[in-house]
Homo-oligomer: A and B are copies of this chain.
């Protein structure tokens, strides 16, 4: 029966996004992104990592691939202040916490059963396409460290 639907690798997943043409470059970019997704890499960081796997790839191509993958819904852009755009393979609804002390970005999930849009008094008739929630502050580790230093 389903003898030919047995592909199980990451490349399988990459091949499926919106039926878009799957080039080696796009595969590499997508793999880098899933590997580094906890690090929320910028385009340049993706570029550095992609170059290790495919030395001929160019920065412009990385940008192109990231845009294509974003358009296909395979990855999300993350905007924090006006720093370089970061990319995230976590497609679940979530916020980003940016620690101003250590510069790390953490994914923040929704409370059980919560709906991120419900706290906002959206005008009737509008259609929400995407929501970006960026929280700036100091993470637990850095906060602890500060208290240690404080008098």
Q: CB within 8 Å of B: which residues of A? A: 77, 79-82, 85, 95, 97, 99-100, 106, 108-112, 114-141, 143-144
Contact = CB atoms under 8 A, between A and B. Distances in A.
Copies in the complex: 2
B135 A134 contact: no
A133 B108 contact: no
A98 to B, nearest CB: 10
A129 to B, nearest CB: 4
Contacts of A134: 79, 131-134
Contact of A123 (B77, B80, B118, B139): B139
Contacts of A141: 125
B132 A108 contact: no
A130 B137 contact: yes
